[in-house]
Amino acid sequence: MKFIAPIIIVIAGILIVFLARNTLALTISPPIKEFTADPGTEFSDVIKLINDEDNEKIFFATIESFRTKGERGEPEFFQTTDETQLSTWITLEQTSVTLKPGEKKEIKYKVSVPEKASTGGHYAAIFWSSQVPEDTGITGVGVVTKIGSLLLVRVSGEIREEMKLIDFSTPSELYNRLPVKFAIGFENNGNIHLKPRGDIKIEPTILGIGKGEVTVNTEEGNVLPKSIRRFESTWQKGTVLESEGKNLVSRFFTELQNEWNNLAIGNFQANLFVLFGQTQPQIIAKTINFWVIPWRVILVGLIVAIFVISILIKGIKAYNRWIIRKAQQKVS
């Protein structure tokens, strides 16, 4: 069965991950590898390593399971002996390799899927570091940076693509200008990772001026099985100038410029449309409303309008007086 739906759980995080005192100059390819397998089967592949440093280095491997923590999809890698985890199904041909500067090497690995492996998605990473793994009993001083390749295995069987929308909201129902941020939360109750894709169309309703469209899940993140993940999308037109720390007058005019650069007026309807699933694509839709009242722009606009109208009135009165004088001069 062909593996549909590539997962990019944390594309940036896959290339990895942990903060370090120094930089690990090692290139790993591919950063993400996807497979589909039946329970009780085996398959093999390779990881390519390139030493980008100027001196010979020894690199050590660790295999860790992957999951997300929190509701923002932050990656969490961990070592385990749980035989239901993908990391325990992986066997490396060698767990350490010595590479000369610029040298490339392919490391083979094998994945043995248990007969009783659960249907759906399983996730792990093969990391490489110049630091000796602690569980080897060998001591060593080195950097703590790890670079790895993420393995995604979809075990065939009865795939359930079940996801529901648990949140679509804005922090407030009233704004004086853009940006307006939308919070979108999903709960995956299925057994395979799902990637929500779609957009939010913003249309004016009552006395509305302005409209927009923003994309949901621009980073193409996935919601893992039995987890909740929240995304954020922002409707914005122009840049926002910093007004904090300024005096009252300067802050007023800075915010006036911000309102003008991100102008929208009235009540708006935000329509969310999201598509998910590969075997049976499904749609999630919801609508919310909010107001944008740029009171500084409106205030200045009223002042200018009153000034212009008063000038016009005075001008008309002066013109009428001039006409009357002219008429009186002709009569006399």
DSSP tally for the chain: helices H, then strands E: 3, 18
Helical spans, DSSP H, in the chain: 11-14, 248-261, 295-331
Q: Number of C-alpha atoms within 13 angstroms, CB side, residue 319?
A: 6
pTM over 0.75: no
Structure confidence by residue, pLDDT tens digits, 94-105: 999 999 999 999
- pLDDT at res. 110: 97
Q: Mean of the per-residue pLDDT values for the chain?
A: 87
| Euclidean distance between CA atoms 121 and 278, whole angstroms | 14
CB count within 10 Å of CB 126 equals 22
Per residue in 257-273, pLDDT (tens digit) is: 999 999 999 999 999 99
| Boundaries of every domain in the chain | 11-155, 163-293
pLDDT in tens, 226-252: 899 999 999 999 889 998 888 899 999
Q: Measured between alpha carbons, how far is 95 from 149 in angstroms, rounded to an integer?
A: 14
List the structure tokens of 112.
């043995």
- CB 246 within 8 Å of CB 286: no
Say if CB 177 and CB 294 are below 8 A apart: yes
* Superfamily (CATH) of domain 11-155: Immunoglobulins (2.60.40.10)
The Cα-based distances of 82 to 64, 89, 147 in angstroms read 11, 10, 23
Among candidate residues 291, 240, 249, the one with its CA nearest the CA of residue 269: 291
Q: What is the pLDDT of residues 262-301, one digit of tens each?
A: 999 999 999 999 999 988 899 999 999 999 999 999 999 9
Which whole number is the average pLDDT over 127-153? 70
Q: Measuring CA to CA, which residue among 88, 74, 81 is closest to residue 153?
A: 88
Phi/psi at 93 (5° precision): -65, -35
Kindly give, in sequence order, each residue whose CB lies less than 8 Å from that of residue 281, ignoring residues fewer than 6 positions away. Answer: 275
Please give the backbone phi and psi of residue 31, each rounded to the nearest 5 degrees, phi first.
-70, -25
Q: Is 165 exposed, middle or buried (0-12, 13-18, 19+ CB in 10 A)?
A: middle
Maximum separation of any 2 CA atoms in the chain, in Å: 120
The count of C-alpha atoms lying within 13 angstroms of the C-alpha of 170, restricted to the half-sphere facing its C-beta, is 23
- Summarised one tens digit per residue, pLDDT across range 202-215 is 999 977 889 999 99
CATH domain 163-293 topology: Immunoglobulin-like (2.60.40)
